[in-house]
Structure 1
């Protein structure tokens, strides 16, 4: 009777360039302990210059390779049929002048956006009217209202994005993190669809 080994492909993994991809990197393995320990070290793919930054490893090709090496083992696939590989390039140290230029552009752009929004909704006129309702006096610059409002606007943005530099206030994901997660999911789905069409031209 053949020995049964169960494989469950991981949905996606991140690897550094020029690192061999082993079976344990792309799948969870269950079976006889001695056999599993040997299977973990089997190299499934060697990254080359032709590989793009994102590519797919199909479970079918993995099982095919494993059966060639171990014909007496019965491999059973559970879960996803493929693993998405993200090749991470080594991060270079950011240059200070470049960071400063980007920071200034973002700062000026954000400030212009906030000012244009307040101009569109006549925020200054609203604050002047509120000052008149509270005090009975007309004031062009009700600073007692404008200064706390400006501080509250900044604090509100920090709380909304749940970040202050690298510090996070709680474990709840921020709206920006959720949008980035959705964006990554869309990229993964596109790559999966594109790879499947290349491997199965009849499915187009």
Structure 2
């Protein structure tokens, strides 16, 4: 097997190990997929963002970020604040779904622009993106020497496949959410996940 292909497969496997873990971004993509709401732009935002971040890591940007700890701290605070707000909204959907749906319709928070902005915030305000995708993945890619860009190609391909499968594949389990009660359980779980991540971010400062 060509060494370039081996490097690409290594990048795909390593990239998936970082992406597949349950997090704020994945939960949001899953919910949009279940609702069949603006799935394509949300998937594109997440995938393209990963391409940019992975490319930055492979190019060596991680070394610069490693010497600027203030950037990570600022990202933690901003990310925690956003996630706390999202957790509150998810909790309200779980407790009073009809009221929140009416409020969202009134404010237009179910629009494409709102979905895209939320996806951007969940991606770029998450400090783990910089620690894992840029620093860690970039370091592993560097260990492949001249084949590091093949490693990066594998990681970006894995990211594209994952977000596409998560967003568009969610419809396969949509029948499970035919009852409003199932959505309340999902939103309650989302609130807990978002809150836990936010607390974890603040605890790491």
After TM superposition, the score normalised by the length of structure 2 is 0.27
Higher helix share: 2
Q: Greater relative contact order (Cα 8 A, min sep 6): structure 1 or 2?
A: 2
Q: Which has the larger radius of gyration?
A: 1
